[in-house]
Amino acid sequence: MAPQPRATPTPDEVSAFAARYDALPLSWAHVGVLVLAATALSFDLWEIALNSVLSTFLSSNARINHSLALPMVVTSVFFGGMVGSPVLGWVADRWGRRRTMMASLVWMGVCTALAPVREDLSWLIAFRMLSGLALGAFPPILMAYLAEIVPPDRRAGLLVGSTSLASLGAPAALFMTRWMDSLQPLGIEGWRWGFMLGGGGAIVLGLFFLLLPETPRWLFARGERAKAEALFARFEASPPVPLVGRRSLIRSEQAAGRKPTAVATAVLMGIWALSPWVNGSFPIMSAAILVQKGFGVEKTLLYVGLLSVGPMLGGFITAPVLDLGARRRVLAALSVLIGVAGILFVAATGPRLLLCAGVLFNVLGTVLVPVLFTYTGELYPTDQRARMAAFGWAANRLGSCLAPFVLLPILHAKGPTAVTGVMVVAIASTILLLNCAPPGRERRSVA
């Protein structure tokens, strides 16, 4: 028998289903999804932390440190992400969030595990770029997925909480690499073990994504009403999390599925492109700055690892209040505080202030990106949410590609203070664009 054609729901039907789903309380089913998503994201962040590892080892090599090889190695993954993010974002809107994330994790794991197997910088750069195709796509698709799954009254806080738990992946990668570098099992260098272990973990987590449901919102918008209603019933039947009350949703006169204008979208992409200049290049720059301050490779890995621990606690502390303020104001405040922390880090001479400023910077940076993802996801309807989040992330990857080529030469020629000046200009530009950006849809239902 031929398959029956799907009846495409009307916008009003999609909005009505979204409103029903968004009325559900936070349940243990939501928590299970958040934990598995955070575990998978931790291996994505493990992969990002490997840039700090490479920056540390290559910065200690005088021949590589003062050539184009260093920025090429650390930015190759961002070039891949710049291409992969919008392509796989479109795939996620067309074929589903879950299966796209599964494929991304497996691809990323294979490429990461193969990157260190040869003594060849060209091989390393090529496989970092191939890994970046999936690495750049996974975070925006995951954030779009979670934005459609979790209750809207705590959407930003839950996304930040999940990201904060995932942030353990970065220090795990750094401390594992440092430990393996001292042991060198089988005669293999520590940084190579970091790549191989991270790649294997990503493959395993990709298979575990078979346990995740697709989002009911996406299924309904695609016309798969029976599957959407079945998943709705599963979330409705799951026991609510105790001690977590509901906040009242904000009723909006703007249609839930209405998308921003082309000008507003361009402004939003500009904010995304500036975000690496505000905070995204810190993992790379912090390692290079510490090496320039005279710290050895082992001590630099120790400090960078310690700097990566703070975001988990900081994210959990800030998560409960992030949905209380307007998205644009929260983003502007975070940008200013990141600038203050960056100035303190560059000015620090003693290890205590260095660690405090670095941890504060990482905490704020960990919060900034998921709030920006939440803000973006709330502005667009379900059939465009993943691709627009992915386009934003691609703009972020473009900025991440350019930043090391600009900031590393400035660091070597002018010192850390000049790098801080560039960051301050980026923060001021971000705040200006936020004033021109569309209002957020915090604590509102999205269709």
Residues 170-190 as b or e (16 or more Cβ within 10 Å = b): bbbbbbbbbebbeeeeeeeeb
Q: State how far the Cα of 28 lies from the Cα of 125, in Å rounded to an integer.
A: 42
Residue pair 147/159 in contact (Cβ under 8 Å)? The answer is yes
Q: Which of 326, 328, 332 is nearest to 264 (CA)?
A: 328
Q: State how far the Cα of 436 lies from the Cα of 415, in Å rounded to an integer.
A: 34
Q: State how far the Cα of 325 lies from the Cα of 331, in Å rounded to an integer.
A: 10
Mean pLDDT of 322-339: 87
Q: Structure pTM?
A: 0.82
CA distances 102 to 47, 72, 96, Å, are: 16, 28, 10
Q: Which of 46-55, 110-119, 146-155, 156-165 has the lowest mean pLDDT?
A: 46-55
Q: State how far the Cα of 155 lies from the Cα of 119, in Å rounded to an integer.
A: 45
Mean pLDDT of 236-240: 94
What's the pLDDT tens digit per position in 272-281? Answer: 999 888 775 5
Q: Which of 1-10, 89-98, 147-156, 353-362 has the lowest mean pLDDT?
A: 1-10
Indicate the average pLDDT of the chain.
82
Q: Which of 61, 47, 56 is nearest to 300 (CA)?
A: 56
pLDDT tops 50 at residue 2: no
Tokens representing 137 are 């796509």
Q: State how far the Cα of 389 lies from the Cα of 221, in Å rounded to an integer.
A: 18
CATH number corresponding to 11-241+258-436: 1.20.1250.20
Question: How high is the pLDDT of residue 1?
Answer: 40
Residue pair 169/368 in contact (Cβ under 8 Å)? The answer is no
Tokens representing 440 are 């957020």
CA distances 257 to 19, 25, 203, Å, are: 12, 22, 35
Q: Which of 54-63, 146-155, 380-389 has the lowest mean pLDDT?
A: 54-63
Instruction: Tell me the pLDDT band of 244, cut-offs 50, 70 and 90.
Output: low
Question: How high is the pLDDT of residue 248?
Answer: 58
Residue pair 224/345 in contact (Cβ under 8 Å)? The answer is no
Question: How high is the pLDDT of residue 439?
Answer: 86
Q: Which residues contact 365 (CB under 8 A, 6 or more apart)?
A: 279, 280, 282, 311, 338
Q: What backbone phi and psi angles, to 5 degrees, belong to 350?
A: -90, 155
Q: State how far the Cα of 268 lies from the Cα of 437, in Å rounded to an integer.
A: 6
Question: How high is the pLDDT of residue 185?
Answer: 78
Q: State how far the Cα of 47 lies from the Cα of 72, in Å rounded to an integer.
A: 16
pLDDT tops 70 at residue 330: yes
Residue 327 burial (10 A CB sphere; 0-12, 13-18, 19+): buried
Q: How many CA atoms lie within 13 Å of 26's alpha carbon, on the beta-carbon side?
A: 21
In degrees, to the nearest 5, what angle opens at C-alpha 343 toward C-alphas 306 and 284? 50
What's the pLDDT tens digit per position in 392-429? Answer: 988 888 887 787 778 778 877 887 778 778 888 889 99
Residue pair 300/291 in contact (Cβ under 8 Å)? The answer is yes
Q: State how far the Cα of 317 lies from the Cα of 1, in Å rounded to an integer.
A: 55
Residue pair 56/286 in contact (Cβ under 8 Å)? The answer is no
What's the pLDDT tens digit per position in 158-208? Answer: 998 898 888 888 888 878 887 887 777 787 777 788 888 989 999 999 999
Q: Where do the domains of the chain lie?
A: 11-241+258-436
